[in-house]
C-alpha cells in the first residue's frame, strides 16, 4: 500500500471541507449546490449503496444463518468506520479505507456482495490520496480481490464488473476533487482581485481627499485667524476675510462632492471581468457582447452597477448554467440585455432592482423584466445616449442616487 501524502494533516477532513481554506486540500465529500444543512446528512445518504450488500442474500439458494450473521456482523464493523471517515484526519482515513477493503476480503467467501465494501474503501482513499497514489491503492485492492475471486471460482464477469464500477467511481471522485480545487482557486482569485481593487480605491480616495482638503483647510484656518485679529482694528476687513472663508468653504464642499461622486464609479469592462469570475465560481458560463461605443462616465457606471446586481441575483436565485449579456445601440438609445437559462420565476423587485430602475429613470431610461430566450429571466435596461456634457443638476442627482 502506498504511503499517505506527506502534506496530509491531522485536521478533520470533514471540517476542512465544510470550511475550506487551502484550495489544494483533499476533501472527503464533494461540494454540491445544496446548503450546509444538506451536508449534515450526506454520510447517511451515502449508505444507500449498502443495498448491493444484501442483494446476493436474496438470490443465494444455499442461504443459511451463517451467511446472514456474517453479513450483519460485517455491517456492525463497517458502519463505525464509515462515519469515522467523515471526521478523521488524513492518516486515520487511510487506515479506514484499508480496513474497508480488508472487510471485503473477509466477507466475500460468504457473500460476494462484499465488493461493496471495497468500493467504499477505494473511494475513501481517492479523497485522501493524490491521483497517482489513489490509482495505486485501487490497483492493489483490485488485484488482491481478483486473486481471491479466482480462488473462490467466481465468474470473470464478477471481477470485471467490480473493477469497472470501482474504477469509474474513483475517477469521478478524482475529477470532482479537481473541479472543487479549481472552483476554490477561482473564489480565492476573485477575493484577491476585490481586495486589491478595494485597497487601490482606498488609496485613491485618501489622495483625493488630501489634495482637496489639505490646502483648503489650511487656507480657512489662516483667513479665520486673520479675521480674528482684524475684528477689533478693522471690522470691514474682518468681514471681507470671513466672506472669503465662506467662499473657500463652499468651493471645498463642491470639490468633496465631486471626489465622493467618483468613489463608486465602476467600469463596465472591469465589472464584466469580475462577473465572469463570480459566475465561474458558481459553475455558470458567461457570454457577453458589447457594441463599440464610447460611454459617458455616468452611463457606464449605471450599466456596471446593473451588471453587478443582476449577477448577484443570478448566483443566489436562478440555478442557471449560462448567462448572456449584450449591449447594443439603436439610433439614440442604448440597450443592455442580461438573460439566463435558470428558473423562470416571477422576479419580485427588491432594493437592488429598485435602485437599478431609479438610476435609469434619472437618465430618462427604463427597466423591463421578461422571459429570456432560454426560458430564464431577462433584464432589459434602456437609456438614451446622453450628450457629451450633462447638466450639473443631472450629475448631482445621479451621484446622490449612486450613494443611496
Q: Are residue 44 and residue 130 in the same domain, yes or no?
A: yes
What cell was used for 294?
464610447
Cβ burial of 105 (10 Å; 0-12, 13-18, 19+) is middle
Q: Are residue 211 and residue 305 in the same domain, yes or no?
A: no
Rounded to 5 degrees, what are φ and ψ at 390? -80, 155
Q: Which domain holds residue 142?
A: 13-187
Q: What parts of the chain have a pLDDT lower than 70? A: 1-40, 60-61, 63, 198, 201, 208, 211-212, 257-266, 344-351, 386-404
CA distance 222 to 126: 74
Identify whether the C-beta of residue 67 lies closer than 8 Å to the C-beta of residue 109.
Answer: no
CA distance 189 to 182: 10
Instruction: Give the model's pLDDT for residue 102.
Output: 93
Instruction: Give the model's pLDDT for residue 32.
Output: 32
Q: Are residue 142 and residue 95 in the same domain, yes or no?
A: yes
Q: At what angle do helices 392-403 and 351-362 cross, to 10 degrees?
A: 170
Q: Are residue 115 and residue 215 in the same domain, yes or no?
A: no
* Edge-first strand listing for the sheet containing 377-384: 285-290, 322-330, 333-340, 377-384, 366-371
- Bridging pattern class, strands 322-330 and 285-290: parallel
For the chain, what is the mean pLDDT?
76
Q: Which of 187, 221, 239 is the last residue of a domain?
A: 187
Total number of domains constituting the chain: 3
Q: Which of 210, 232, 261 is the last residue of a domain?
A: 261
Instruction: Give the model's pLDDT for residue 390.
Output: 40
CA distance 35 to 42: 11
Specify if 383 maps to a domain: yes
Q: What is the pLDDT of residues 83-117, one digit of tens each?
A: 888 877 778 888 889 999 999 999 888 888 888 89
Any idea of the CA torsion for 191, 203, 262, 273, to the nearest 10 degrees? -30
Q: Which of 187, 211, 231 is the last residue of a domain?
A: 187
Instruction: Give the model's pLDDT for residue 140.
Output: 92
DSSP-derived secondary structure for 119-166: HHHHHHHHHHS-HHHHHHHHHHHHHHHHHHHHHTT--HHHHHHHHHHH
Specify if 5 maps to a domain: no
Q: Are residue 246 and residue 285 in the same domain, yes or no?
A: no
Amino acid at each position: 500500500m502506498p504511503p499517505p501524502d506527506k502534506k496530509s494533516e491531522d485536521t478533520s477532513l470533514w471540517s476542512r471541507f465544510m470550511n475550506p481554506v487551502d484550495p489544494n486540500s483533499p476533501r472527503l465529500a464533494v461540494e454540491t449546490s445544496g446548503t450546509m444543512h444538506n451536508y449534515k446528512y450526506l454520510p447517511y445518504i451515502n449508505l444507500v449503496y449498502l443495498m448491493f450488500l444484501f442483494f446476493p442474500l436474496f438470490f443465494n439458494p444455499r442461504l443459511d444463518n451463517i451467511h446472514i450473521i456474517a453479513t450483519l456482523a460485517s455491517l456492525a464493523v463497517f458502519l463505525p468506520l464509515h462515519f469515522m471517515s467523515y471526521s478523521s484526519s488524513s492518516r486515520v482515513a487511510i487506515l479506514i479505507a484499508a480496513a474497508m477493503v480488508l472487510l471485503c476480503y473477509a466477507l466475500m467467501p460468504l457473500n460476494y456482495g462484499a465488493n461493496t465494501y471495497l468500493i467504499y474503501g477505494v473511494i475513501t482513499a481517492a479523497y485522501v490520496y493524490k491521483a497517482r497514489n489513489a490509482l495505486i491503492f485501487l490497483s492493489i485492492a483490485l488485484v488482491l480481490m481478483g486473486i481471491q475471486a479466482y480462488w473462490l471460482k467466481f465468474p470473470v464477469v464478477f471481477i470485471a464488473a467490480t473493477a469497472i464500477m470501482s474504477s469509474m467511481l474513483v475517477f469521478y471522485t478524482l475529477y470532482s476533487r479537481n473541479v472543487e480545487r479549481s472552483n476554490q482557486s477561482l473564489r480565492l482569485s476573485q477575493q484577491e482581485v476585490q481586495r486589491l481593487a478595494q485597497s487601490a480605491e482606498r488609496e485613491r480616495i485618501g489622495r483625493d481627499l488630501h489634495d482637496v482638503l489639505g490646502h483648503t483647510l489650511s487656507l480657512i484656518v489662516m483667513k479665520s485667524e486673520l479675521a480674528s485679529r482684524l475684528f477689533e482694528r478693522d471690522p470691514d476687513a474682518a468681514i471681507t476675510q470671513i466672506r472669503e472663508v465662506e467662499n473657500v468653504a463652499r468651493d471645498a464642499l463642491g470639490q468633496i462632492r465631486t471626489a465622493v461622486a467618483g468613489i463608486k464609479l465602476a467600469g463596465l469592462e472591469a465589472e464584466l471581468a469580475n462577473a465572469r469570475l463570480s459566475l465561474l465560481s458558481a459553475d455558470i458560463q458567461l457570454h457577453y457582447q458589447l457594441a463599440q461605443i464610447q460611454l459617458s462616465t455616468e452611463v457606464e457606471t449605471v450599466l456596471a452597477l446593473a451588471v453587478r446586481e443582476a449577477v448577484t441575483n443570478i448566483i443566489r436565485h436562478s440555478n442557471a448554467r449560462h448567462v448572456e449579456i449584450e449591449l447594443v445601440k439603436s439610433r439614440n438609445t442604448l440597450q443592455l440585455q442580461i438573460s439566463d437559462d435558470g428558473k423562470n420565476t416571477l422576479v419580485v423587485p427588491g432594493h437592488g432592482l429598485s435602485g437599478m430602475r431609479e438610476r435609469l429613470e434619472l437618465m430618462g431610461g427604463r427597466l423591463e423584466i421578461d422571459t429570456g430566450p432560454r426560458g430564464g429571466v431577462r433584464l432589459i435596461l434602456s437609456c438614451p445616449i446622453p450628450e457629451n456634457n450633462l447638466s450639473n443638476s443631472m450629475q448631482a442627482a445621479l451621484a446622490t442616487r449612486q450613494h443611496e
